[in-house]
Structure 1
Amino acid sequence: MYLRKVGVGMKKTFHPAWNVLRRITGIAVSLICVVTLLPFLQAEGAGIQNATRLMQPFTLIKSTTELHSDTLAPDAVQQFAHEQAIILGTEQAGNQWDHAQLDFYPLGPGTRSWLVYANVGESPVGYMIISANDQGQLQLSEYGQGEQRPYNISLLYQALDRQQLDLEELIPDGGGLQLRYAPPLLAYWKVEMPNDDVIYIDATNGDTLPTGVLKALDTDSRQASKRMKSIRSISVQAVVMTPEDSPQVSSLSVDSLDLQPLFDPADNLLWITSKALSINGVKTLNQQWKEHKKIVFSADHQNVLYGGPLPVSGYQIWRDERGTVHNQYVAIGGNTSVRRFVPLQSLLRDGNFYAVKP
């Protein structure tokens, strides 16, 4: 099977018109039930070698009370993830974050990011994506609650089916699959074809991504990988993600989730013509909700890196032991994509909030 035959136009370079189309049409794929990820993605950037393993359950390292080898994640990453899970478990009694087993999945070479699934038995608790910055400091790039998770294998199959591709046939022919992550917020699959063509699929909504932009991101990640020492060099000191005068991670707790009704930004496009709202924190975000009810986040020309535009669907505040606001995570998506809690500062840096007018 050839990408040129089934993916006409995939080679075109991303340009503003593509972004406008995303803003107008919205996100078209509905998530279905969450199932287990592919069993064989157990090495950073590794391709799939054996299609017969597609249907097998897989076993990954567990990190609740005991840390394990750095085959899939360094010990410092596991320790950091464990601490974040404990913090998320302070929201309310019984949310089970602090009792969850944590499964780790490297997100491609050069990205310095790991997907973490949290489960109690067979029940999903949530997910995290942990990334290391250029200084080797770890940070919680995003997280989610409950069953909605990126890299849903059912979503991948739907996306490939629209391209008339069959993963079970693709892999034995020499193709490959990688889980990838590009800052600030692009979770995606890289599907490699036997004839060296590649397609990229958004792992939060199933959209096919523009090949030119993603190839450039791949090149950047490879160059970053060459510049940086092995990720295993990250030490336990990397667990500290705040300045010395900031509270330690163990002293943080989270407020209860504040969630808003979900909607599709494509249902009412008048927000495209409105002025950006003035928002600098969740306090002003709340004020805008009281006035406008529905708010959309758009990263404009960077929407490809966010899967946007997306509904703003909630927030969660992280506080220190004195009650001072330490982090503000805002939820985007949740209607036709995964609801993702991401740092508000990332959204303010890269995009704007718009009111949906009746």
Structure 2
Amino acid sequence: MLIPPDSFVIAQAAPAPEEAVRFAEQLIGKLSASKPFTAWKEARPEFQPLGPGMHAWLVTLTQDGKSIGYLILGAKPSGGYALIEYGAGPEPLFDTVALQRALAAESGVSAHSASLPPHSAALQVEQLYAGPTLAEWRIVDRAGQAAGLQVQAADRGDSLPLQYRDARNADPLPDNESIWRRLLASPPQLSSATVASGSAAAIPDRPTKTADSFDPNDNLLWLASDQLKLTASSLTQELRQHKALIFAARSEDRNYTLPLPVYGYQTWEQGDDTATIEHVYVMTGSAASPRFIAFDELARTGQFYNSTGQ
């Protein structure tokens, strides 16, 4: 049994700036020309702002009421929008179903329960995004605390404290308000090495898959290896040679490590006959729902490692 959606207060779809809508439509049209994005041709985009101060938009693509992909557009300080990341398949970046299941299990709700715990209808759920490795749910028990104040579980044995969870799998994360206050106060500066609106048209090549998707936790030898010093162009060379890599998100803004599998890439060519620029997007995520992240936006948050630890 899942906690019903009306037990949550989540930011709803909102009117997006006209330039962001046009840019999203252009990207959808270009990506839908090849797999794994072909289903996007008939999809309906929904726009949601991501967190206060982040100046980003989540564009969720749905078909017959089901998620089939997403885009993250970030507002550039100089104007216009940049494509930070995108993904295909049924696993959304912010998975409400996974969150419902996790909270129901934590609350002791089962298929045989006649009613929900009293506090469940008082949960305020917010989508936070501060870059591709910092996508989280922020959950506040409005009945037991004021916004921005943390309540220890011991103080309210029957209610949820202020907590943070991974956007995709709803696993609890050891983040806190001070970390997110810093992040919200300093929106990320987007690299010029991303596909952006208001510039020469960028055309995506077909994704290059160099290995099957995998779980970085299945082989932890990479933890003892040296980090790889990669650029966008050397990443593609490294993948062609070693097939798979691991990216470990580490920074002063987080107190945990998030490992991601890297098993391919997609390049976008931008320019004309005199000069062409290639923008590289790193392929990660699962086999059913691959995820593509702008190289510079990913690289600034951690390090790459050889997946075999050699």
Q: TM-score range by the shorter chain?
A: 0.7 to 0.9
Counterpart of 1:313 in structure 2 is: 263
Distance 1:170 1:106, change over 3 A: farther
2:126 to 165, 168, 178: 178
Give 1:355 shift: 0.9
Counterpart of 1:6 in structure 2 is: none
1:131 to 57, 61, 74: 74
CA distance in 2, matches of 1:271, 1:263: 14
Q: Taking structure 1 as the reference length, what is the TM-score of the superposition?
A: 0.65
Does residue 77 of structure 2 align to residue 140 of structure 1?
A: no
CA distance in 1, matches of 2:237, 2:179: 39
- Quick one: percent identity of the two aligned structures? 30
Does residue 99 of structure 2 align to residue 156 of structure 1?
A: yes
Q: What residue identity is the alignment partner of 1:329?
A: Y
CA distance in 2, matches of 1:295, 1:98: 32
Distance 1:168 1:187, change over 3 A: farther
CA distance in 1, matches of 2:179, 2:253: 16
CA distance in 2, matches of 1:37, 1:265: 36
1:301 partner SS: coil
Check the 8 A contact 1:132/1:138 in 2, yes or no: yes
Check the 8 A contact 2:131/2:297 in 1, yes or no: no
Distance 1:37 1:286, change over 3 A: farther
Q: What residue identity is the alignment partner of 1:203?
A: A
Give 1:101 shift: 1.6
2:26 partner SS: helix
Check the 8 A contact 1:204/1:338 in 2, yes or no: no
2:52 to 98, 101, 109: 109
Check the 8 A contact 1:186/1:306 in 2, yes or no: no
Give 1:191 shift: 0.7
1:356 to 296, 299, 307: 307
1:211 partner SS: coil
Distance 1:315 1:293, change over 3 A: closer
Count residues in correspondence: 273
Give 1:344 shift: 0.7
Gaps of 5+ in 1: 1-35, 44-59, 61-70, 226-239
Does residue 204 of structure 2 align to residue 254 of structure 1?
A: yes
Instruction: For CA contacts below 8 A with separation 6 or more, give which structure has more relative contact order.
Output: 1
Give 1:256 shift: 0.9
Counterpart of 1:329 in structure 2 is: 281
CA distance in 2, matches of 1:94, 1:145: 6
Counterpart of 2:294 in structure 1 is: 343
Counterpart of 2:179 in structure 1 is: 216
Distance 1:117 1:351, change over 3 A: same
CA distance in 2, matches of 1:181, 1:305: 17
Higher strand proportion (structure 1 or 2) = 2
Check the 8 A contact 1:184/1:305 in 2, yes or no: no
Does residue 250 of structure 2 align to residue 281 of structure 1?
A: no
Distance 1:110 1:338, change over 3 A: farther
Q: What residue identity is the alignment partner of 2:305?
A: Y
1:86 partner SS: helix
CA distance in 2, matches of 1:191, 1:118: 24
Q: What residue identity is the alignment partner of 2:179?
A: A
Give 1:268 shift: 1.2
CA distance in 2, matches of 1:161, 1:88: 37
Q: Root-mean-square deviation (CA), in Å? A: 3.4
Check the 8 A contact 1:100/1:120 in 2, yes or no: yes
1:188 to 136, 139, 143: 136
1:151 partner SS: coil
Q: What residue identity is the alignment partner of 2:268?
A: W
